[in-house]
Chain A
Amino acid sequence: MRPEAYVAATRFGYGPRPGDLPSINRDPRGWLDAQIGNTTLPAPLQDLPGSAPLIAKMITEQSKPQGFANYIRTEARPAFDREVGRRTTAAAESDAPFRERLVHFWSNHFTVSVKRVQIMPSAGAFEREAIRPHVFGKFEDMLIAVAQHPAMLIYLDNQYSFGPNSLAGRRRDVGLNENLAREILELHTLGVDGGYRQDDVISLAKLITGWGVARPQDRRESTPGTFLFREPGHETGGKTLLGKSYRQGGVAEGEAALRDLARHPATARFIAGKLARHFFADDPDPETVARLARVFTDTEGDLAALSRALIDAPEPWDAPLDKFKTPNDLVISTLRALDAPDLRDKDMVGPLALMGQLPFTAPSPAGWSDRSADWLGPEALMTRIEWLRAVSAYTPIPNTLRWADSLLGPVLSDDTRIVVSQAQSESEAVALVFASPEFQRK
């Protein structure tokens, strides 16, 4: 068994299932390459609702003087738990775990979070609608899909942002909100060192004024709960962003600006650096990052090509397997190691919340960290070991060492083998395999 099979399964995917490694071993790179391009919705996600009715309902409930908290508790939260469960199950059962990892990576790059409770009903649908279809498409198409998705417009306050000189701005007491514009520049495209200034934040905010969400009373203009461009709220006149002027007006103006941002060299560097950090090193070698950035630039942000470049790069295969798994990694790889036990959707919520990485609850628009140090604290380590010990209490596995070999064979150390072989029970042996340094790192 070549270590490459293990790297492909663990670093690119979400860890092997008991029978996976021998078949991956035949052609690790080919196994990954075959996952590129297919964005079919995984079975566990197929019967979940789209965002439009959910957002329309949320807006209706929110406009009632009473009962919003009740709606969140009785409707939105159970639906949210189902989304989290299905998302986790989809990755745990997937034959294309590299794709699932990429979906999670991009979803984290374009974070929406239920820290703003209005997002709770639609966070899962956001990922299905704005992220998933584009993970092997063009970055700029994903960027526009995200920036026009009602969940993002609500999360970062753009639905009430109106041009000061627009018809709405002059007639009513409304104005500019720069939140989404700032995060597009800082977190989604150029990065904080990407060379923009406060003036550019304001300009981009003006360029996307009027980008909002159709309410039930807007139904003649657009389906409630979907994107609605409110022309009377769009700032009039030309705008200048990063020295380039935009004067076409309408929704096209903001779209043109986003396409230019997506093609900016700073965006290529920023995205390349984040991918490298996610896939192989907390502090990736600058030359590797530059090489990935060149692929991004040369292909105008073709994410299939970029995914292939990751596979073709030597670093993911050579870099030491010393990144500490995030809780999301850990839970999914544990479920895969147990061959995706049949769990209820809500069963996945508790452990992910306890370990501090419940999907769609990132503390800020920057999303979850991809650095080991941010996850490897004493309390965090103890919590995950307690969880793994508890899970293992329900899952004694006969011939534990043979099972461990089927998961970790190429990297399993003699020290770990000895400790596992001396365990007093099968369930304790399973817990030790899960707690082992080899399983905790990727």
Chain B
Amino acid sequence: MTIPTRRGILHGLVATTALAASPGGVQLAFGAAAVDARFVVVILRGGMDGLAAIAPYGERAYRRQRGDLALPEPGAPDGLIDLDGRFGLHPALGALAPFYARGELAIAHAVGIPYRNRSHFDAQNVLENGTDKPHSTADGWLNRAIAALQPGGTPAGLAVGANVPLIIRGDARYTTYAPQRLPDIGGDFVTRLRNMYAQDDELATVLAEALKAKEMREGVLGRQRGGMGRGNAGSGAFYREAFGAVGKLLADAKGPRVAVLDTDGWDTHAFQGTTQGVLATQFGYLNEGLASLHEGLAAAWRQSVVLVVSEFGRTAAINGTKGTDHGAGGVVLLLGGAVAGGRMVSPWPGLETPQLYEARDLAVTTDVRGLFKGVLRDHLGIAEGHIEDVVFPNSRDARAIGGLIRA
């Protein structure tokens, strides 16, 4: 059999299609019409060090536990940004300070999942499946939640990237988004593909969703291609572009109402740094991403809640390699125009060694599901029965936390 090509089959595809993205030049299809409530979950995989993001600098034990990782006090060069005289924001997260000042950022410290094994993967499963066991369900709680938001209509959920995270996988339909770099396949080819996939229900369904998502995306973002490089969930370009695009897609009155953004690179066992270094770089990315999201949401920011969460926090004390190991309590950030913020919203357990979980991790005072429930109920208006019976079954102890949303 002769194959008429040699060199360069795959080459060229990338080069010829890497058109520049059009920054700022994107027209919104539906202008600034008021939208229903919007909700974005940002997952930070790897165990984000909550004690570095929101440092309890006013605690006596802070400097003792953190040693070389303790951040400079507010007022010092590159110092923490003071929040309430006791907690300070990491300087690389500076874009969040105005949100806090305006009452659009609420901080929940010492938050955790209902599961204490320190495995990333089990913990991420628990965070995403909404139960207290790692392998109890094949679908995610956000999927079960959006089932209540889309009676037969447009998919309410949006996932970003080639790989769909568990939190939004399940029976309720959702769309996905990733910046494209390959040439369009064309309408005629799509028709032939549809005919062929009639024999495979699963592929037919997924193809239909892909086509719908493409239509929606092009309606809002234009035929935007290129720009992600080797873009992955750990690079600065990913944060800027993906967060901004999600903002624009959600700002569309007919767009999805709920999105999940998946990031990684938060596992800082060694030399995590303070105001500079690996973790500060990650915070810088997140800072930029959240600012892009805010910008993309534009007028819809008023109706939005963005929840930033990781599978667990890290050890209170610095470890032997100037990093921190897997811990328990972590930080959740809630930001958006709909948030009743400018405050800390969960009890603080203290940082003295006897106050720690197993004398090593920040204790968990708040079940993360209480925050999720509060947002689903008070922001998205999902019925309490659906939340308790379907979204987070057998979780009555983790009561919905009220007052997170502006009245």
Contacts and interface: CB of A to CB of B under 8 A. Distances in A.
Partners in one complex: yes
Interface of A: 18-19, 115, 156-157, 160-162, 164, 169, 174-179, 182, 186-187, 192, 198, 201, 338-339, 341-344, 346-348, 350-351, 353-356, 358, 361, 363-364, 366, 373-383, 385-387, 389-391, 394-397, 403, 406, 413, 415-416, 419, 422-424, 428, 431-432, 435-437, 440
B169 interface: yes
Contact of A366 (B121, B177, B200): B121
Contact of A379 (B119, B134, B161, B199): B161
B371 to A, nearest CB: 25
B275 interface: no
B252 to A, nearest CB: 18
Contact of A192 (B122, B188, B230): B122
B269 A348 contact: no
A391 B13 CA distance: 8
Contacts of B10: 343, 347-348, 350-351, 387, 391
A378 B13 contact: no
B197 interface: yes
B176 interface: yes
B192 A385 contact: no
Nearest to B210: A378
Contacts, number: 214
Given A341-B9, A343-B9, A355 B321 contact: no
Contact of A178 (B6, B13, B45, B325): B325
Contacts of A437: 196-197, 199-200, 203
Contact of A179 (B138, B181, B325): B325
Contact of B320 (A160, A373, A379, A416): A160
A387 B182 contact: yes
Contacts of A435: 193, 196
A373 B167 CA distance: 13
A174 B206 CA distance: 52
Contact of B121 (A346, A364, A378, A395): A364
Given A338-B3, A347-B11, A435-B193, A379 B210 contact: yes
Interface in B195-231: 195-200, 202-203, 206-207, 209-211, 213-214, 230
A95 B112 CA distance: 51
Which of B1, B122, B210 has most A Cβ within 10 Å? B1
A155 to B, nearest CB: 11
Q: Is the interface of B mostly helix, strand, loop or mixed?
A: loop
Report the 4 A-B pairs with minimum CB-CB distance, sorted nearest first: A175-B320, A356-B162, A378-B210, A386-B182
A18 B213 CA distance: 36
Interface of B: 1, 3-11, 13-14, 45-46, 117-122, 134, 138, 159, 161-164, 169, 175-178, 180-185, 188-189, 192-193, 195-200, 202-203, 206-207, 209-211, 213-214, 230, 232-234, 264-265, 267, 269-270, 319-321, 323, 325-326, 358
A351 B162 CA distance: 12
Given A174-B321, A350-B14, A374-B163, A419 B46 contact: no
Given A115-B264, A378-B175, A378-B213, A175 B321 contact: yes
Given A347-B11, A379-B178, A396-B4, A355 B196 contact: no
A343 B178 CA distance: 27
Contacts of B207: 378, 381-382
A383 B178 contact: yes
Contacts of B183: 386, 389-390
17 contacts: A157-B321, A192-B122, A201-B118, A339-B3, A344-B7, A350-B11, A361-B232, A363-B264, A373-B169, A374-B164, A376-B202, A377-B162, A379-B159, A397-B3, A413-B199, A432-B193, A437-B199
A123 to B, nearest CB: 15
Contacts of B320: 160-162, 164, 169, 174-177
B182 to A, nearest CB: 4
A376 B199 contact: no
Contact of A389 (B189, B196, B265, B319): B189
Contacts of A373: 138, 164, 169
A16 to B, nearest CB: 12
Given A160-B270, A364-B46, 5 more contacts: A162-B320, A341-B5, A342-B6, A361-B232, A415-B195
Contacts of A182: 118-119, 326
A146 B188 CA distance: 50
A364 B264 contact: yes
Contacts of A431: 189
Contacts of A432: 192-193, 196
Given A115-B265, A174-B321, A363-B233, A338 B121 contact: no
Nearest to B125: A192
Nearest to A363: B264
B206 A378 contact: yes
A156 B196 CA distance: 46
Contacts of B198: 415
B319 A395 contact: no
A343 B264 contact: no
Contacts of B321: 157, 160-161, 174-175, 177
A139 B270 CA distance: 29
B323 A198 contact: no
A432 B191 CA distance: 11
B402 to A, nearest CB: 35
Contacts of B118: 182, 198, 201
Nearest to A186: B119
A177 B214 contact: no
Nearest to A423: B192
B270 A354 contact: no
Contacts of B230: 353, 358
B9 A394 contact: yes
Which of A374, A394, A403, A437 has most B Cβ within 10 Å? A394
Nearest to A436: B196
A356 B232 CA distance: 8
Nearest to A354: B181
Which of B175, B180, B199 has most A Cβ within 10 Å? B199
Contacts of B117: 192
A161 B319 CA distance: 10
Contacts of A355: 162
Nearest to B123: A192
A1 to B, nearest CB: 17
A380 B163 contact: yes
B192 A383 contact: no
A378 B319 contact: no
B8 A192 contact: no
Contacts of A364: 45-46, 120-121, 264, 267
B159 A395 contact: no
Which of B9, B188, B193, B199 has most A Cβ within 10 Å? B9
